[in-house]
């Protein structure tokens, strides 16, 4: 997927957020980005959220502090975020258009930078952080939804030699960050019915055969779902009437 194609994809889903899928999550790892964020922030903190999407997470989980800037490279996502912001009534948050790989923010300005499931350039993040500032990263690993990928014989980053978590970790170290910690995150997600599960798979790039390592993505995500394979997976992964999906994320904390 080229950068323009990726932008078109996110413009298409600008009114979408995970809450619509009514996912029930069970955490198996004691690492929570929002808990860490709220613990390290103060009333005077200035926070940058990269890849903010429609702003739902920022509005719900980010702390009350001096300033929060949420950025995304999709105009549609920023329109949605600003609409959500207006409805929320919060005053310390701004959303605007920005490419994470071509950042346009002041140097030595932010106390905390958050990057959630989005490409980043740690060297640019380093420049915009104050001395002692924090970087918090949450991403999707190569082994996410592995049983589902194996069932379909393909999937996000399935053929990558290096998991994106390791690549991010190395790039953050190379940028000069200290106290860098990489944590694997395991969760179980449950879907109430087949309709919600299928809708979810059509919106996310889990079973599409592209490379996180090389940036080689298909033009659109989740278009083809083999009903026979999917039906077998659902049958084998239904517990108490709910469809289970095993998630594998990663978290990184670092300081300037």
Range from 20-29, 134-143, 198-207, 236-245 carrying the lowest mean pLDDT: 198-207
Query: How is residue 52 written in tokens?
Result: 């903010």
Distance CA 134, CA 172 (A): 12
Q: Residue length, the chain?
A: 256
Give the per-residue pLDDT at 209.
61
CA-based nearest residue to 142, from 129, 155, 133: 155
Residues 6+ positions from 92 with CB-CB distance below 8 Å: 64, 65, 66, 67, 68
> Regarding the domain delimited by 3-144+161-187+247-255, which CATH topology (the fold level of the hierarchy) does it fall under?
Rossmann fold (3.40.50)
* Structure letter (DSSP) for residue 143: T
> What are the backbone dihedrals phi and psi of residue 179, each rounded to the nearest 5 degrees, phi first?
50, 40
As beta bridge partners, residue 138 has 116, 251
* Structure letter (DSSP) for residue 214: T
How does pLDDT run across 174-231, given as a tens digit for each residue?
999 999 999 999 999 999 999 999 988 887 878 876 556 555 444 444 456 789 999 9
* Structure letter (DSSP) for residue 216: B
Residue 15 host element (H or E): none
> What are the backbone dihedrals phi and psi of residue 113, each rounded to the nearest 5 degrees, phi first?
-120, 130
> Residue 34, exposed/middle/buried by CB under 10 A (0-12, 13-18, 19+)?
middle
In order of 73, 120, 209, 244, the CA distances from 99 in angstroms are: 5, 9, 25, 34
Distance CA 232, CA 150 (A): 12
Residue 14 has pLDDT above 90, yes or no: no
Residue 12 has pLDDT above 70, yes or no: no
As beta bridge partners, residue 46 has 67
How does pLDDT run across 21-44, given as a tens digit for each residue?
899 999 999 999 999 999 999 999
Structure-token match 């104050």, residue found: 130
Distance CA 45, CA 35 (A): 15
Q: Are strands 24-27 and 93-97 parallel, antiparallel or unpaired?
A: unpaired
* Sign of the alpha-carbon torsion through 164, 209, 117, 28: negative
This prediction has a pTM of 0.86
């Amino acid at each position: 997927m080229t950068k323009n194609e990726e932008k078109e994809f996110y413009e298409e889903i600008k009114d979408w957020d995970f809450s619509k899928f009514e996912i029930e999550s069970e955490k198996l790892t004691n690492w929570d980005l929002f808990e860490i964020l709220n613990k390290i922030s103060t009333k005077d903190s200035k926070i940058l959220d990269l890849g903010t999407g429609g702003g739902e997470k920022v509005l719900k989980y980010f702390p009350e502090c001096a300033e929060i800037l949420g950025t995304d490279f999709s105009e549609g996502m920023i329109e949605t975020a600003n609409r959500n912001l207006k409805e929320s009534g919060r005053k310390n948050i701004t959303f605007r258009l920005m490419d994470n790989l071509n950042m346009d923010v002041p140097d030595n300005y932010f106390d905390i930078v958050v990057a959630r499931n989005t490409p980043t350039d740690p060297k640019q993040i380093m420049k915009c952080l104050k001395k002692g500032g924090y970087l918090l990263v949450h991403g999707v690993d190569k082994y996410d939804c592995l049983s589902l990928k194996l069932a379909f014989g393909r999937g996000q980053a399935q053929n990558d030699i290096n998991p994106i978590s390791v690549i991010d970790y190395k790039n953050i170290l190379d940028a000069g960050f200290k106290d860098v910690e990489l944590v694997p995150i395991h969760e179980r997600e449950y879907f109430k019915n087949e309709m919600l599960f299928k809708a979810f798979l059509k919106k996310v790039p889990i079973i599409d055969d592209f490379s996180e390592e090389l940036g080689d993505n298909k033009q659109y995500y989740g278009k083809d779902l083999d009903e026979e394979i999917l039906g077998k997976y659902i049958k084998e992964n239904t517990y108490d009437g709910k469809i289970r999906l095993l998630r594998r994320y990663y978290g990184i904390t670092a300081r300037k």
